[in-house]
Amino acid sequence: MSSLSPDLDRFLSPIRIDVTKARALAHELGKTFRLLASHSLDQFLPTPISESILRPTGGRERGRYLAIDIGGTNLRVGFVELLGSKSAPASNGTTLNGNHSDHRTPSNLRRVLERIWPIHESLKNNEDPDPLFAWIGSCIAQVVGEGVEKFSLDRNKELPMGVTFSFPIAQNSLSNATIMAMGKGFAMSPKLDLGTLLVNGYEKSKPSNLPPIKVTAILNDAVATLVSFIYQFPEDRTHKVAMGFICGTGTNATIPLRRSALGLEKLPKEITVGVGDRLEDIKVAVNTEWSIKGSAGPLKGLGIISKWDKMLDDEGERPGFQPFEYMTSGRYLGELARLMFLDYMEPRLRLSAENIPTELLRRFGLTTTFLSTYRPLDPPDLLRKLKAEFPPRDSGLPFEWTVDDATALYHIAIAIEYRAAALTAAAIIGLLACADDIPFSSSPKDRPDPQKTNGKKDIMNLVVGYTGGCIINFQDYLSDCQWFLDQIMETQFGSPVPARLILSPCYDGGITGAGVLCGVSQAKAKEL
């Protein structure tokens, strides 16, 4: 690949980021996250279940549970079979990313009768929730009908169901949730009871010979990822599951936080706890909603928001709502590239504006999916891909894409991805600092003695479970994010670091987490 031209290098400078700036962002985000945990009513939303329930010491729940995952793009419905200490085949195994270790284990759960449906735009755009939930109810009914036949389910017995909802929710108990303001193109009004909508939608859509359902556990998708990851990951004295995060259509993260870190007005009325838990000491799984506007301060303060980020924000459905998400997640990175590419090409494109490919002029016309595979074997290969995706119109002045044009778009995509990886790594470190999992101060190399801090020589591996098509597929997002995690920690602490941060996959955590938590809730109900 040819090096950048001086013009393109200058053009990309507003979104350049290095380890020093990423480290500073991590520190500022850590401080901001502490304030949001204590005061914000839109972010750092507690799930009413303690960490001790999620980290069982006497074995893991077993059974088969109905689970659904309502995402920003798709709906999944299926049954999740929890195998306890047994293991399913290793196809859903866990792999630690990077060069530190390669730790694999078979999964102790499996998904059966799972189906997936795209959520149509007409349902998203309808402010009336009834059509959406009637459709969701009909999808649930299809899977339940198959389950009745395959598993001989009692048609008269209530079927417990776990629910993952990929949007902000407020909860006072594990089985109840109030929908908050939504993004990702959904127009539905907030302040609605999610469980009631789901049960009513199912009852309206199901045949009379199917069993009723009962919503027993509701959780956000990032919380579900953490729940699923903890269930599957074999922790030991040097490996701890620290958080779960998603970077797909949108981005979010979940982490266990001490109850004392949360404002009193935010605490759920009911928290499912383990035997022997002291209420003042417990940690709860917190849905951070880290991309919402409360996180904008550090991005602005460090000059990270560029003119193109502002353009993307201003043209969105809810300007200012999710500034971090606009710079890091799959729904928006392609659009950011489109705005930047048009800006860079403006001197050439204005000579033949009437012949610019129509899709390139349309919002979201350049997709993150296309850019994910926009990689060169050689520059002519890029040119072929660009021409195929955006053929010039047969009108106006002659216009043809060149190798330089195609190469410029590639470098724009790489610059966007590299910055996104740095921002995500900084947010992960800031969140771990907020949870007191790492001692991250404002001064680099203010390093504690690992032997004094931990009482042992072994370095703790804090494992971060990730999922989402954007971080997995968009250029080198995953490996660059791991690189920034390593470099920020080394810049901060020197060597050895007090803890090593490792990204590890937790695919399909939404639906599996719903199944796991449904099992947990049923087990707790039997104890009462």
Residue from 56, 92, 76 nearest 231 by CA: 56
Whole-angstrom distance, CA of residue 322 vs CA of residue 224: 21
Whole-angstrom distance, CA of residue 227 vs CA of residue 52: 12
Tens digit of each residue's pLDDT (9 = 90 or more) over 351-366 = 566 778 888 989 999 9
Residue 194 has pLDDT above 50, yes or no: yes
Helices in 173-282 by DSSP H: which ranges? 194-205, 221-232
pLDDT at 91 (0 to 100): 39
Neighbouring C-beta atoms of residue 445, cutoff 10 Å: 11
Higher pLDDT, 426 or 130: 426
pLDDT at 160 (0 to 100): 95
pLDDT at 514 (0 to 100): 93
pLDDT at 79 (0 to 100): 97
Residue 95 has pLDDT above 60, yes or no: no
pLDDT tier at 98, thresholds 50, 70, 90: very low
Tens digit of each residue's pLDDT (9 = 90 or more) over 450-506 = 444 444 567 899 999 999 999 999 999 999 999 999 999 999 999 889 899 999 998
Distances (CA, A) of 24 to 50, 299, 441: 32, 10, 10
Structure tokens at 99: 């060069």
pLDDT at 64 (0 to 100): 94
Tens digit of each residue's pLDDT (9 = 90 or more) over 7-40 = 999 999 999 999 999 999 999 999 999 999 999 9
Distances (CA, A) of 460 to 427, 455, 486: 20, 11, 14
Mean pLDDT of 35-54: 85
Tens digit of each residue's pLDDT (9 = 90 or more) over 124-162 = 888 888 899 999 999 999 999 999 999 999 999 999 999
Whole-angstrom distance, CA of residue 371 vs CA of residue 146: 39
pLDDT at 102 (0 to 100): 37
Residue 94 has pLDDT above 60, yes or no: no
Mean pLDDT of 213-217: 94
The alpha carbon of residue 156 and the mean position of all alpha carbons in its chain are separated, in whole angstroms, by: 37
The mean of the pLDDT values for the chain is 86
pLDDT tier at 100, thresholds 50, 70, 90: very low
Cα-based torsion angle of the residue sequence 343, 345, 350, 351 in order, rounded to the nearest 10 degrees: 170
Whole-angstrom distance, CA of residue 301 vs CA of residue 55: 38
pLDDT tier at 277, thresholds 50, 70, 90: low
pLDDT at 435 (0 to 100): 94
Which of 168-182, 250-264, 381-395, 411-425 is predicted with the least confidence, judged by mean pLDDT? 168-182
Say whether 312 sits in a helix, a strand or coil: helix
Residue 252 has pLDDT above 50, yes or no: yes
CATH dotted code for 52-87+105-220+509-523? 3.30.420.40
Q: Where along the chain do its domains lie?
A: 52-87+105-220+509-523
